[in-house]
Amino acid sequence: MKKIILIFSLIALVIFIILLVGQSGFFLHSNIVDNPSDAVKQEEEIQQPQTKDEYVSPDDTLSDKTESEDGSESDIKIETGTYQGQIDSSFIEIAISGVPEEKAIQVFMLSDELKNEFGDLELNTGESIKFQYYIGEDGRNIIVDIEN
């Protein structure tokens, strides 16, 4: 009888310890930090702008010094790619040609002038395009011209 009580006591103690550790979350999610700024950092890492020479063939790139909308001097880059679609009235997605697939699709902001003319272009998803853009002071890719 004492052995049965001892066995049930040990089982109850083990169950109690398991429940206690499970409630504390010590072993669960110990490496996960729920910080909203982490999500922003991850999003910024995904949308890193290209450097001047990264993934660009000599045939596709012409650099001209140009005055941008804010009056600062910046490099205009010319690329070819496949139009993926419009995110909203200010942003579109393009899969850049000659870039590894996991880095090919990038988000581009439409310049104010191009935003007004964008509807007239009537681009279809999957259509090949040639476009000119520069990297703004905030690191965003800003498109100034698109050709079908």
**What range defines the domain where residue 117 resides?**
51-147
Mean pLDDT of 44-55: 51
Look at residue 38 and tell me if it is in a domain.
no
11-47 pLDDT tens trace:
988 888 887 766 665 555 444 455 555 555 555 555 5
Whole-number percent of the chain with pLDDT over 90: 38
Q: How many residues does the chain have?
A: 148
Confirm if 77 and 53 have CB atoms less than 8 A apart: no
Give the C-alpha separation, 98 to 71, whole Å.
31
* Stretch among 21-25, 81-85, 88-92, 140-144 having the lowest mean pLDDT: 21-25
Q: Look at residue 45 and tell me if it is in a domain.
A: no
Residue 127 lies in a domain: yes
Specify whether 140 is located in the same domain as 103: yes
**Model pLDDT, residue 18:** 81
